[in-house]
Chain A
Amino acid sequence: MLEITNLVKRYGQNEPVLKGLNLKVEGSSVVSIVGASGAGKSTLLRCINRLVEPTSGSIKLNGHELVNLRGSELRHSRRRIGMVFQGFNLIDRLTVMENVLSGRLGYVSFFQALTRRFPQSDIDRAFSLMERVGIAHYADKRADQLSGGERQRVAVVRALMQEPEILLADEPTASLDPKTSQQIMSLLQSLANEMSLPVLINIHNVTQARMYTDRIVGMRHGQMIFDGEPKDFNQDALDAIYGGIESPEEDAGEPASPTEEASA
């Protein structure tokens, strides 16, 4: 369970990017965070694994406070948090297998990392995860030879290799075409189910958020202004979050599926 209390992030003397956020994520639900650019979604996610330093507040993962960890404790906590990035962030010149195994860097010794002698259990896990997402045949191909959707799948496997307690995805589909982004969202949803893993997804595309997630959190200017089920996310909620800003793409890629619109 993830428990965020009164999280504030301010850069210098400017207006805070996150203004006292409270969020609880329990069990294995898929939560999407929607909001316009600049709302603070990415900052929120990065505060959790401390790629960005929170200014104040508390973040607890399964009872452990994350905010004041340093050094090896910080690294130990990071390995329990998996992250998938918008730009995939793979090591282009290494093979798919090496990228996948690099998810275990928090667990193996430097020597093992250097000589690529990962434990057999890691290799087994790598192969089965890769087969699950359908990229096992690419194991020895260089990462930059894959398509966008394939690369994101590698990134997902890398994150899962950490055996994380929570999965964070920062706009995982923003760089992908509509059909591929659907596949990825669907993949995240089923993996979350299979592994009983809580997943936090930053996403632009509200329609996909409705279709693939159990709970929607809406942010605007660093504050949470909506927290509820997809069926409750109506036009008012949309306006509150994006009002005055250009509306996000509504293209779900599947013309035949009717989206539920609760009447006002």
Chain B
Amino acid sequence: MVDHAAKLTDRVWSRYNRKEQLTRYVVYLVTLIAVVWAVSDINIFWPWVWDAPNQIQSLAGRMWPPEFSKWEAIFSAMLETVHIATLSTMLTIFIALPVSYIAAQNTTPNKVTLWIGRFILVSSRSVNTIIWALLFVAIFGPGVLAGILAVMFRSVGFIGKLMGEAIEEIDRRPVEAMEATGASKLKVVLYAIVPQVMPAFFAIIILRWDINIRESTVLGLVGAGGIGVLLQGSIDMFAWQTVATILLAIVVLVILGEALTSVLRKKVI
């Protein structure tokens, strides 16, 4: 008869084996060290931190009740914001589509164009809309042109990357079939690729339009037009109650934008 009792006492179980445990400890340790370093080294005046909730409350108090006297200016500025977002999204399509074509591995003519396409997309995405706005304000002066260009330059990367991925994921077989009929490259794209990426295209454009509306609200803070200009002005003059109204207007705009885009998305899918 086998002695089960002795066997059982030898068996140990632990959730992670030695190697995993070690890795987990190392990760925790590194994270802890990073936190400690960050907290100790950061340029914060700690007494103010404890006072922060107070300060936030007091600011909130100064913003209540919201003041509606400037509603006309606010409304037209909001309209301007919507125009900036819409026009730039429309215009970006013409740039983003060709770039996405050359940035997709299965449609790009050669290696050089692939890297050019990727480079354009990466630079566009890595530079934040506001930084683009700073640049264009410096070039073209404050105003909506700087804003439109800034949103365009940022959107190219977003739309181009997602469209490029959509192109890379198509079913190759219709492409093969079209080539077999003797169609030229352009016609192959038209019949085999375009129909396959259409749904993705609409979804991406709608999504980016939604994001652009949000982005356009802040462009005015650096002078590139839209409601941001009014916002910056009110903050500079400590007109907190007007600020509150502007913030409310922005919330309404964002909600409207989301509602509209989800309706559009359903219609398109």
Q: A94-B191, A94-B195 are in contact. Are A89 and B176 (CB under 8 A)?
A: yes
Per-residue B-contact encoding for A93-128, CB less than 8 Å = 1, 0 else: 110001000111110001001100000000000000
A83 to B173, CA, bound (A): 12
B14 close to chain A: CB less than 8 A: no
Which among B171, B181, B198 is the interface contact of A78 at CB below 8 angstroms?
B181
Contacts of A162 in B (CB 8 A): 181-182
Which among B173, B186, B190 is the interface contact of A89 at CB below 8 angstroms?
B173
Contacts of A105 in B (CB 8 A): 178, 181-184, 187-188, 191
Are the C-beta atoms of A79 and B174 separated by less than 8 Å?
no
Contacts of A114 in B (CB 8 A): 190
Which residues B131-161 have CB closer than 8 A to chain A? none
Which among B176, B182, B191, B195 is the interface contact of A77 at CB below 8 angstroms?
B182
B262 close to chain A: CB less than 8 A: no
Interface extent on B, as a size class?
Answer: 20 to 34
Are the C-beta atoms of B174 and A75 separated by less than 8 Å?
no
Are the C-beta atoms of A85 and B182 separated by less than 8 Å?
no
A72 to B184, CA, bound (A): 8
A76 close to chain B: CB less than 8 A: yes
Are the C-beta atoms of B184 and A85 separated by less than 8 Å?
no
Are the C-beta atoms of B195 and A85 separated by less than 8 Å?
no
Are the C-beta atoms of A75 and B177 separated by less than 8 Å?
no
Which residues B177-230 have CB closer than 8 A to chain A? 177-184, 186-188, 190-192, 195-196, 198
A23 close to chain B: CB less than 8 A: no
A189 to B198, CA, bound (A): 38
Are the C-beta atoms of A113 and B187 separated by less than 8 Å?
yes
Which among A87, A91, A103, A110 is the interface contact of B195 at CB below 8 angstroms?
A91
Are the C-beta atoms of B174 and A90 separated by less than 8 Å?
yes
Are the C-beta atoms of B181 and A158 separated by less than 8 Å?
yes
A245 close to chain B: CB less than 8 A: no
Residue of B nearest to A76 (CB): B182
Contacts of A94 in B (CB 8 A): 191, 195
Q: In the complex, how many angstroms separate the beta carbon of A251 from the nearest chain B beta carbon?
A: 27
Q: A85-B173, A93-B196, A110-B186 are in contact. Are A78 and B179 (CB under 8 A)?
A: yes
Q: A93-B196, A93-B198 are in contact. Are A106 and B183 (CB under 8 A)?
A: yes
A113 to B192, CA, bound (A): 12
Are the C-beta atoms of A78 and B180 separated by less than 8 Å?
yes
Q: A94-B195, A105-B191, A114-B190 are in contact. Are A89 and B177 (CB under 8 A)?
A: yes
Per-residue B-contact encoding for A48-88, CB less than 8 Å = 1, 0 else: 01010000000000000000000010011111111101010
Contacts of B191 in A (CB 8 A): 91, 94, 98, 102, 105, 113
A15 to B212, CA, bound (A): 56
Contacts of B171 in A (CB 8 A): 92
Q: In the complex, how many angstroms separate the beta carbon of B187 from the nearest chain A beta carbon?
A: 5
Q: In the complex, how many angstroms separate the beta carbon of A257 from the nearest chain B beta carbon?
A: 33
Residue of B nearest to A80 (CB): B182
Q: A90-B174, A91-B191, A94-B191 are in contact. Are A83 and B180 (CB under 8 A)?
A: yes
Q: A85-B177, A89-B174, A114-B190 are in contact. Are A106 and B182 (CB under 8 A)?
A: yes
A111 to B254, CA, bound (A): 41
A110 to B186, CA, bound (A): 7
A92 to B174, CA, bound (A): 8
Contacts of A51 in B (CB 8 A): 176, 179-180
Q: In the complex, how many angstroms separate the beta carbon of B202 from the nearest chain A beta carbon?
A: 13
A92 to B188, CA, bound (A): 14
Which among A72, A87, A106 is the interface contact of B181 at CB below 8 angstroms?
A106
Contacts of A104 in B (CB 8 A): 181
Contacts of A85 in B (CB 8 A): 173, 176-177
Which among A78, A87, A92, A155 is the interface contact of B182 at CB below 8 angstroms?
A78
A105 to B184, CA, bound (A): 8
Contacts of B180 in A (CB 8 A): 49, 51, 78, 81, 83
Pick 8 A–B contacts, CB within 8 A, sort by A.
A72-B184, A75-B182, A75-B184, A89-B176, A90-B174, A91-B177, A102-B191, A158-B177
Known: A75-B182, A106-B183, A113-B190. 8 other contacts (CB 8 A): A72-B184, A76-B182, A83-B180, A89-B174, A105-B181, A106-B182, A114-B190, A155-B177
